[in-house]
Amino acid sequence: MSASATAHLHTTGLHCQSCSMLVQMELEDLPGVTSAVSDFRTGMTDVVYDPELVTIESMVAAVVAAGYGAELAE
């Protein structure tokens, strides 16, 4: 039984569908992330994750490591 939560990240620096795909792949590579959907038009990335396995900080770090900006959207 694992917990599930959704984080809304404001991602910056995305200009096309490839950027969205890359961000999604990097996030989905993190253990505990179930799915990530990124829209380069709005800059919003919705991440479904298990809060016991992965932190917002690790998600932000993964996006930043891929060359983009990210912060938790309120």
- Residues that bind Cu ion in the complex, under the rule CB under 5 A: 15-16, 18-19
CB of 43 to Cu ion, least distance (A): 12
Pairing between strand 44-49 and 33-39?
antiparallel
Sequence-ordered strand ranges (E) for the chain: 5-12, 33-39, 44-49, 69-72
Please, which residue, 6 or 42, has the CB nearer to Cu ion? Answer: 42
Token reading at 74 = 């309120």
Please, which residue, 11 or 49, has the CB nearer to Cu ion? Answer: 11
CB of 40 to Cu ion, least distance (A): 7
Please, which residue, 5 or 16, has the CB nearer to Cu ion? Answer: 16
Are 36 and 62 spatial neighbours (Cβ–Cβ below 8 Å)? no
CB of 3 to Cu ion, least distance (A): 33
